[in-house]
């Protein structure tokens, strides 16, 4: 199976779509079809299904095929951190690794690459630590009217 590698920009879009889809699913007890989720998000259903497949592989949602099929959360929204979503969507390098593409291959450049990698790894770790502090339920409460 070919692994799709997304750019930082695509990765950010996928993360945004994933969070919104999970907020929608946090208010559904039954399976909800991808076309309906895509409609709520004004998103293209095919792209959303790729995102949902990553979330399913990350054990955040479950899928059911067939006429009554769709997606639903695998755990309560209070038990799903934004960090788990971020990690489930990992399809390439950390978002900030684009700066590594600017380095030329000479002695100083190799030292710079090492320093940039350290910075990128620290940014990635800080991102995960920050996202660990919030849940889908908290995001839903901030973004959906009448959510409790």
3-state secondary structure of 138: helix
pLDDT at 142 over 80: yes
**CB contact at 8 A, 22 and 61:** yes
Burial class of residue 146 (count of CB atoms within 10 Å of its CB; 0-12, 13-18, 19+): exposed
pLDDT band at 13 (very low <50, low <70, confident <90, very high): confident
Helix (H) or strand (E) holding 140: helix 136-143
Question: Whole-prediction pTM value?
Answer: 0.80
pLDDT of residue 99: 64
pLDDT at 2 over 80: no
Q: 96: which residues sit within 8 A by CB, 6+ positions away?
A: 8, 119, 120, 123, 124
Positive or negative, the Cα torsion across 48, 54, 55, 59?
positive
pLDDT of residue 90: 80
Closest by Cα among 42, 5, 47, 40 to 22: 40
**Residue range 15-64, pLDDT digits in tens:** 999 999 999 999 998 999 999 999 999 999 999 999 999 999 999 999 99
**Residue range 65-112, pLDDT digits in tens:** 888 889 999 999 999 999 999 999 985 555 555 666 676 676 776 778
Residue 90 carries which DSSP code? Answer: -
Question: What are the structural domains of the chain?
Answer: 9-143 (1.10.10.10)
């Amino acid at each position: 199976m070919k692994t799709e590698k997304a750019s930082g920009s695509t990765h950010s879009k996928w993360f945004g779509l994933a969070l919104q889809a999970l907020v929608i699913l946090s208010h559904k007890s039954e399976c909800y079809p991808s076309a309906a989720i895509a409609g709520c998000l004004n998103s293209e259903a095919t792209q959303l299904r790729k995102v949902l497949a990553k979330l399913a592989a990350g054990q955040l949602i479950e899928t059911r095929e067939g006429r009554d099929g769709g997606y639903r959360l695998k755990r309560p929204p209070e038990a799903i951190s934004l960090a788990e979503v971020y990690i489930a969507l990992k399809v390439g390098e950390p978002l900030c690794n684009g700066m590594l593409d600017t380095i030329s291959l000479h002695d100083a450049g190799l030292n710079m690459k090492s320093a940039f990698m350290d910075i990128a790894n620290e940014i990635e770790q800080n991102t995960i630590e920050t996202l660990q502090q919030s849940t889908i339920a908290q995001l839903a409460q901030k973004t959906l009217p009448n959510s409790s």
